[in-house]
Structure 1
Amino acid sequence: MNSEARKQVFVCAGTGCVASGANKIIDLLQAEIARQGMTERVDVIATGCHGFCEQGPTLFIEPEKKFYRHIQAEDVREIVEKDLAQDQKVERLLYKEPLTGELAVTYGDINFFAKQSRIALKNCGFIDPNKIEDYLAQGGFEGLKKALQLTPDEVIEEVKASGLRGRGGAGFPTGLKWSLCRTNPGDKKYVICNADEGDPGAFMDRGLLEGDPQSVIEGMLIGAYAIGADEGYVYCRAEYPLAIRNFQIAIAQATEAGFLGDNILGSEFSFHLKIYAGAGAFVCGEETALMASIEGKRGMPRVRPPFPAQSGLWGKPTNINNVETWSNIPHILRNGSPWYAQYGTEKSKGTKIFALTGKVNNTGLVEVPMGMPLREIIFDIGGGVADGKQFKAVQIGGPSGSCLPAELLDLPVDYDTLAQAGAMVGSGGLVVMDETTCMVDIAKFFVNFSQEESCGKCTPCREGNKRMWEMLDRISRGEGKMADLDKLEQLARTIKETSLCGLGQNAPNPVLAALKYFREEFVEHIEAKKCRAGACSNLLSYSIDPEKCKKCSLCAKNCPVNCITGNKNTPYVIDGDKCISCGSCMDSCKFGAVLRA
């Protein structure tokens, strides 16, 4: 921004907002600002995702810190004429807290932002990811400069002292992982960024790669220097075209600026970085399958040992961390390990990014200190359960995680506490579920996902997940037996103990957690042939209350199998033998006459 400019308008141009028309809004803003002769006083900056996805398209106005949401093309002229020209609020575009109805003028007034502690997400939404100058203005590459003044071992000790653990799911200490790779002999070493984000409802990696790609590059540079690597790869799923494009631009700009390539910043350290687009196989999130994919082989895990630190990419010592882990590294080197270690708990230091999705008012990316209770994340930051429904469960850790019930809402979110509860932090998926969610159906969904994504290499995963799904399917159709519950639990534990890689080892987690915390729902499906959530269609029956029926025929018109009869003189009736329990009659009835049992 030039020195005469008075205002900055930051418009989210992440994938979610772009899909809602953000690029058109940016063009209209620039055109309207030019039309009103304000170009020298106002800059429009296209940023990455700032996280508040539920409210997109969104924009911030600095220095007043105003926040507008759900921006449409027809709102642009009013924003320019009223706010940018006259410094007046456009109240109808301001955010209201869903639980209190309070109007929030600035983003600092919004619980979604105010209760976060942003480290990895610090720049997302506040810089143009396609301009390295913006990253440098925020202290970019200062961490690399400090690292190059230290020995590689001193850099590793600093990372160890920070307490950073891998944010990809396993939570292995990052500094220790680096030291294992550094001490293994090899004439060539690699570092890899795992951006193969495949968990349903997860988009943490996408947000960072789109909004702050240079932080990932800087983190990888520091890691490569510490380990002794001169080449690296970012393995990103091809379904993230904007992330890949922004990262390619970032690589080109970092190379031109002298931060990538040979003899970086006049040192003897050289590092070259490439981006590799994966084909979308979930199993390639497992590090040995990921490396096989880069090598041009089918993405399948292999037996360990040897571990990647001993023999990884093309048989050379290799260190793999995920996007969020790499993004934390520059902040640790820039600000020091004691600064980073002040966040979080004794054994889980720092912050964690979660993709907060599902039946919650404020969906989006949130970054909180490790140890924050689930209740605070869901109800304070997330704004509570949507549509006034009751909270039922939260799925944490993606398809490899577990559903935790309401009585565990005060559980601190850290690696060890969640493990004791039979759950895991995972990569950061956090899916909120309400009273309309059936836990049998949810367990079935995640097992089906793992079954479809299994590479098929090992029998426990390939066959076991199919058998688990078949048992869950029978239970959801009201054909299960009580003996199935013990069989299901025994099979789940066998798969967990004998599968080759993390996909199979963790695929049973949703089933085991559902049986532990929601067993009564399984029993209801089996003994009472009832689904309390109304999600399992085979266990539902519909009828029409003749006293409430207005004889409008909407239910009959919307029935796909023509099982509803009646006329303007006779209340409508559902033929139970023909009904397929689709629920279209209940959805179409405006008078509450259709009943579900």
Structure 2
Amino acid sequence: MQLTPVLSQHWGEPNSWTMRSYRSHEGYTAARDALAMEPDDVIKTVKDAGLRGRGGAGFPTGMKWGFIPQGDNKPHYLVVNADESEPGTCKDIPLMLATPHTLIEGVIIAAYAIRAKHAFIYLRGEVVPVLRRLQAAVAEAYEAGYLGKNIFGSGYDLELIVHAGAGAYICGEETALLDSLEGRRGQPRLRPPFPAVEGLYACPTVVNNVESIASVPIIFRKGIEWFRSMGSEKSPGFTLYSLSGHVARPGQYEAPLGITLRELLDYAGGIRAGHKIKFWTPGGSSTPLFTDAHLDVPLDYEGCGAAGSMLGTKALQIFDETTCVVRAVLRWTEFYAHESCGKCTPCREGTYWLVQMMRRIEKGEGTDADLEKLLDISDNILGRSFCALGDGATSPITSSIKYFRDEYLAHFELGGCPFDPYKSTLMAGAS
């Protein structure tokens, strides 16, 4: 399967982030065309294209827009989730840094479709260069008349605000993001009501990922059939895959949905010289692990689901045989315990105890019974926490025990990590 650079096509060009550069590639023509349509027809176009959310869950974007009630006499809001925090995910940040106007044009179309007069881009606050670039691009769009009053003479008004968050993984969850945007502590809300009914300021709100919104303009420029010519029937289109870890050329690879890791590795130069793949994540550390047996799994929503994982954010973290899976899972578990907002008991208490047990096991101080206890705690978190953070914390643990139980047991037998050179020498001498 061939790579399909669409969103990333102009990333390497000089001054790709400027209005001049973007307009030279038909920039803002899609927004002009969309604003000449009826809002419902804009939603139908996105529905017919089959665009699915690129932020993790893969929910159909057009359907999400269609949930917004009309004729309710309430303000409507569009919020772009740019709080990219999933370990291994690095697609939205380079997109906003290289071509921010792609996102802004998508915002105009999406906001018009849901009859929103105000839109927000909620950005991870630590990435100051991206914040400045977005703010500069928004200022350019206002100056050109693409934002503000009477856009393209259509009578449509839109105000766009770039908001810098304080840097919390939990704010990637859409309702926690809305609480943070309102000035409160970022914690997930009880649902229902859902954001489409009561979101930002208790008004109908759509929350979409950066890549989801940035993919909208090209659909209007190239057409539905062109978009659906890539990917699969249920997962059409193209997407950005983030390859990191033990690969020769890590980076962003834009390809049709359904490409396999084996194919992506060919483009990325393969695993680093002299080594072989051991395990990898298809969508960030919150998705169940895959092994070398899954190299030919189609990387789309249905393919990953059928194989026992999730496509998630397409963060492909690659680990070779030199990596201790127990140590890697421990580091991820420590991350989730640190980032838990503490609102619900299963996640607050469960992630704490997962860390304590994983640390013992990694040091070789555990027993076989600890593995069952780990699985029991994970089972009590899964599906019982307020949001998906708790579920994500359990995924690397349960999947690693499933595929690498012997490696966990080796820690007990050796009294430490078998990847520790000193321990390995002792074990070789004992045998």
TM-score (norm 1): 0.70
Q: Distance in 1 between matches of 2:395 and 2:317?
A: 15
Q: In 1, are the aligned partners of 2:236 and 2:257 still within 8 Å (CA)?
A: yes
Deviation at 1:184, TM superposition (A): 7.6
Equivalent runs, 1:238-317 vs 2, <5 Å: 238-317=125-204
Q: Helix, strand or coil for the counterpart of 1:385?
A: coil
- Aligned pairs, number: 431
Q: Aligned partners of 2:55 and 2:430: how far apart in 1? A: 43
1:503-547 Cα distance to aligned partner (Å, 9 max, x none): 112221111111122222112222454644x15x8x82657xxxx
Map 1:498-513 onto structure 2 (within 5 A).
498-513=384-399
Is the 2:282–2:299 Cα contact (8 Å) retained in structure 1?
no
Which of 389, 399, 418 is the aligned partner of 2:304? Answer: 418
The C-alpha deviation readout for 1:443-468, integer Å capped at 9, x for no partner, is 11111110000000001001101111
1:253 Cα deviation after fit = 0.7
2:430 and 2:164 map into 1 onto residues whose CA distance is 48
1:477 corresponds to which letter in structure 2?
A: K
1:430 pairs with 2:316? yes
- The structure 2 residue matched to 1:337, chosen from 188, 203, 224, is 224
Instruction: List per-residue Cα deviations over 1:334-389 (Å, max 9, x = no partner).
Output: 111111111111211111212211011001111111000111112x1111111321
Alignment partners' CA distance in 1, 2:416 and 2:2:
41
Query: Which residue of the partner structure matches residue 105 of structure 2?
Result: 218
Residue of 341, 344, 349 corresponding to 1:455: 341
Aligned counterpart, 1:371: 258
The reply to whether residue 362 of structure 1 matches residue 362 of structure 2 is no
Alignment of 1:157-168 (within 5 A): 157-168=44-55
Q: How far has the Cα of 1:279 moved from its partner?
A: 1.0
Which deviates more, 181-190 or 451-460?
181-190
- Contact 1:156 / 1:226 at 8 angstroms: preserved in 2? yes
How far apart, in 1, do the equivalents of 2:378 and 2:131 lie? 37
Q: Are 1:185 and 2:59 matched, yes or no?
A: no
Amino acid at match of 1:161: D
Deviates most, 239-248 or 320-329: 239-248
Q: Runs of 5+ in structure 2 lacking a partner?
A: none
Partner of 1:561: none
1:540 aligned to 2:423? yes
Match of 2:360 in 1: 474
RMSD: 2.0
Q: Distance in 1 between matches of 2:237 and 2:249?
A: 23
Larger Rg: 1
Query: Residue 41 of structure 2 aligns with which residue?
Result: 154
The answer on whether the counterparts of 1:399 and 1:510 sit within 8 Å (CA) in structure 2 is yes
Deviation at 1:475, TM superposition (A): 1.3
Greater RCO, CA 8 A, separation 6+: 2
1:182 positional shift:
4.7
Amino acid across the alignment from 1:195 = A
Contact 1:199–1:398 (Cα < 8 Å) also in 2: yes
**2:289 is paired with a residue of what secondary structure?**
strand
**Equivalents in 2 of 1:397, 1:595: separation in Å?**
40
- State the distance in 1 between where 2:29 and 2:362 align: 56
Distance 2:55 2:115 in 1: 22
Q: Is the 8 A contact 2:17 2:97 kept in 1?
A: no
Match of 1:237 in 2: 124
Structure 1 distance, partners of 2:165, 2:249, is 31
Contact 1:130 1:249 in 2 (8 A): no
How far off its partner does 1:115 sit?
4.0
Q: Is the 8 A contact 2:50 2:235 kept in 1?
A: yes
Is the CA contact (8 Å cut-off) linking 1:395 and 1:431 kept in structure 2?
yes
Query: So what's the TM-score if we normalise by structure 2?
Result: 0.96
